[in-house]
Amino acid sequence: MKVAKFGGSSVASAEQIKKVAAIVTADSERKIIVVSAPGKRSSEDTKVTDLLITLGETYLQEGEAEAELQAVVARYEDIAKGLNLGQDIVATIEADLRERLAFDRNRPESLMDLIKASGEDNNAKLIAAYFQSIGLKATYLNPQDAGLLVSNEPGNAQVLPEAFEQLAKLRGSEEIIVFPGFFGYSEDGTLVTFPRGGSDITGSILAAGTKADLYENFTDVDSVFAANPNVVDNPVKIKKMTYREMRELSYAGFSVFHDEALIPAFRNRIPVCVKNTNNPSSSGTMIISEREYFLSPVIGIAADKGFATLYVRKYLMNREIGFGRRLLQILEDEGLSYEHIPSGIDDTSVILRQGQLTSAIEERIVDRIRKELAVDDVNIERDFAMVMIVGEGMHNTVGVSARATAALARANVNIEMINQGSSEVSLVLGIHSEDADRAVRELYHEFFSGADETIE
């Protein structure tokens, strides 16, 4: 049994949804179909999720948003017309949106979750109706009815353990289940969304809950690439990679998945295949527990911008018991998470996502560190990028770090920080954001020059 998730570009129009139907009918094992909200039909288009955010925000500010509501309905009407569906489904979608807008405006976070989730929910209803119209035994299933229980954290829901037991019951369904991505329900019946991009999370949860034999993630690319195609021309395709490699690359900015999206599938050792809705015959990229890595110790290179570095220096810091704990407590008090902590004997650096830092928070942190830890120096620098070299085979390969640093030297890129985790699956290089693309291109040339079009 397979769970297949179709992203926004795969369900953006009637033409794309017809492709989805052809893919589903081509394999009787595709029993659970997870769908996103309609994405962009062209680069100039607007995603339905963005239209819904505008709808919700306008309604919260003005108490009325008829034009914004009609813009959303028009997108679904266009799709329904292209699929030869009647006005009934369009009327159902419009009535659903109006019902959501009647929610308590004094709970803005929950209202916005309701509005945003309608993108996936109504698209699932429409797609199920189309499947039925062409003779498929298909049914729309709401996450609440399926038992997809999540924590009550608007915009940041986490699946609850008991959800998997409920979802296991879906495995025996004889009908094709069309399931909306992106949201679940708390134990008190409140709709709550996952982080944005959460349809991947839904698919992964369903694959884990039903113990699927395969989780297929259909998108608009033939495979995962060894580097960002917008930065490197014609990067090689990756045929197989491990869960850990995918998570490391996703964290570092690979756009195929959010870095936490596949964790439910990973924990249940369910293989994941990335495939192209527009070219379903392509084998795609398999993400598995283990792979033979002796031919390609490095599998990919990625870079992510938007980091800040907190520098702290104090003579004999290494002799001061509890210094690190107290430093991190100050960050915790401000609700900040950190990414890396490279250290020396008299200094330490804490790498954070700079989006967490406001000028007020930054001022408080620096002031507290200076006063409470009696440091010799403390400052925060912004606009760093983290470049990540990833591969399971790196720990058995001599000279990866030397090759990486030599490549960046050739590109005249200064390295501010180097960090290699104990697993040795990744090597992280901190550089200035302005150098990120140049660094990725030079590292790609170093590790993949002369490689075949596809790497195992």
Confidence class for position 155, pLDDT limits 50, 70, 90: confident
Residues 208 and 354 in one domain: no
State the average pLDDT over residues 220-225.
85
Alpha carbon of residue 441 to chain centroid: 24
Residue 116 amino acid letter: K
Residues 451 and 318 in one domain: yes
State the average pLDDT over residues 161-172.
93
6 annotated binding-site participant: yes
CA distances from 27 to 59, 176, 259, 341 (A): 43, 11, 29, 48
Q: Quick check: is 276 in a domain?
A: no
Q: Quick check: is 254 in a domain?
A: no
* Range of weakest confidence among 43-57, 89-103, 206-220, 440-454: 440-454
Per-residue model confidence as pLDDT tens digits over 370-405 = 999 999 999 999 999 999 998 887 777 788 889 999
Cβ neighbours for 278, distance < 8 A, ≥ 6 positions apart = 19, 220
> For the range 358-363, what are the long-range contacts, defined as Cβ-Cβ under 8 Å and sequence gap of 24 or more?
361/334, 361/336
Q: Quick check: is 130 in a domain?
A: yes
| pLDDT for res 255 | 65
242 annotated binding-site participant: no
CATH for 16:
3.40.1160.10
Residue 298 near residue 391, CB atoms below 8 Å: yes
Alpha carbon of residue 112 to chain centroid: 20
263 vs 244: CA distance, rounded Å: 10
Confidence class for position 228, pLDDT limits 50, 70, 90: confident
Kindly provide the b/e burial profile for residues 177-208, where b requires at least 16 CB atoms within 10 angstroms of the residue's own CB: bbbbbbbbbbeeebbbbbbebbbbbbbbbbbb
Q: Quick check: is 188 in a domain?
A: yes
219 annotated binding-site participant: yes
| pLDDT for res 293 | 64
19 annotated binding-site participant: no
Residues 9 and 145 in one domain: yes
Residues 86 and 195 in one domain: yes
CATH for 355:
3.30.2130.10
19 vs 192: CA distance, rounded Å: 30
Alpha carbon of residue 270 to chain centroid: 18
Q: Quick check: is 239 in a domain?
A: no
Where helices occur in 7-158 by DSSP H, the ranges are: 14-25, 48-62, 66-82, 87-101, 108-133, 143-146
Which residues sit opposite 300 in a β-bridge? 390
Confidence class for position 223, pLDDT limits 50, 70, 90: confident
| pLDDT for res 311 | 94
Cβ neighbours for 366, distance < 8 A, ≥ 6 positions apart = 378, 379, 380
State the average pLDDT over residues 8-25.
95
| pLDDT for res 451 | 62
CB atoms < 10 A from the CB of 294, how many? 9
Q: Which of 195, 220, 245 is the last residue of a domain?
A: 220
Confidence class for position 58, pLDDT limits 50, 70, 90: very high
- pLDDT above 80 (res 203): yes
Mean pLDDT of the chain: 90
CA distances from 359 to 305, 365, 373, 431 (A): 19, 10, 21, 23
- Location of structure tokens 């795969």: 10
Confidence class for position 409, pLDDT limits 50, 70, 90: very high
Residues 215 and 306 in one domain: no
Residues 179 and 309 in one domain: no
Handedness of CA 345, 387, 203, 55 (dihedral sign): positive
Residues 304 and 178 in one domain: no
Q: What is the 3-state secondary structure (H, E, C) of 7-41?
A: CHHHHCCHHHHHHHHHHHHCCCCEEEEEECCCCCC
| pLDDT for res 393 | 77
Confidence class for position 67, pLDDT limits 50, 70, 90: very high
Which residues sit opposite 216 in a β-bridge? 4, 273
- pLDDT above 60 (res 456): no
Q: Which one-letter DSSP state was computed for residue 137?
A: -
Q: Which of 220, 239, 256 is the last residue of a domain?
A: 220
Nearest alpha-carbon partner for 378 in 306, 321, 305, 309 = 309
Name the strands in the sheet holding 426-432, side by side, starting at the edge strand that comes first in the sequence. 347-353, 300-313, 377-390, 426-432, 417-420
285 annotated binding-site participant: no
233 annotated binding-site participant: no
Residue 335 burial by Cβ neighbours in a 10 Å radius (0-12, 13-18, 19+): exposed
313 vs 241: CA distance, rounded Å: 40
Q: Which of 164, 192, 220 is the last residue of a domain?
A: 220
Q: Quick check: is 238 in a domain?
A: no
Antiparallel, parallel or unpaired: β 138-140 and 176-180: parallel
| pLDDT for res 97 | 96
367 vs 373: CA distance, rounded Å: 10
Per-residue model confidence as pLDDT tens digits over 293-310 = 656 788 899 898 999 999
7 annotated binding-site participant: yes
254 vs 250: CA distance, rounded Å: 4
Nearest alpha-carbon partner for 426 in 262, 290, 288, 246 = 246
Q: Quick check: is 245 in a domain?
A: no
- pLDDT above 90 (res 130): yes
* Range of weakest confidence among 28-37, 170-179, 384-393: 384-393
Residues 66 and 212 in one domain: yes
| pLDDT for res 217 | 92
Q: Quick check: is 426 in a domain?
A: yes
Q: In terms of residue numbers, what domain contains 304? A: 300-455
- Location of structure tokens 């699927």: 212
Per-residue model confidence as pLDDT tens digits over 246-294 = 888 877 766 666 667 788 888 889 999 999 999 998 889 998 887 766 5
- pLDDT above 70 (res 329): yes
| Residue 292 three-state SS | coil
380 vs 385: CA distance, rounded Å: 15
Residue 20 near residue 6, CB atoms below 8 Å: yes
58 annotated binding-site participant: no
334 against 221, higher pLDDT: 334
Question: Helices 66-82 and 14-25 meet at what angle, rounded to 10?
Answer: 50
| Dihedral-angle region of residue 412 (phi above 0 means left; psi in -120 to 50 means alpha; beta otherwise) | left
- pLDDT above 60 (res 141): yes
| pLDDT for res 422 | 58
How many domains is the chain partitioned into structurally?
2
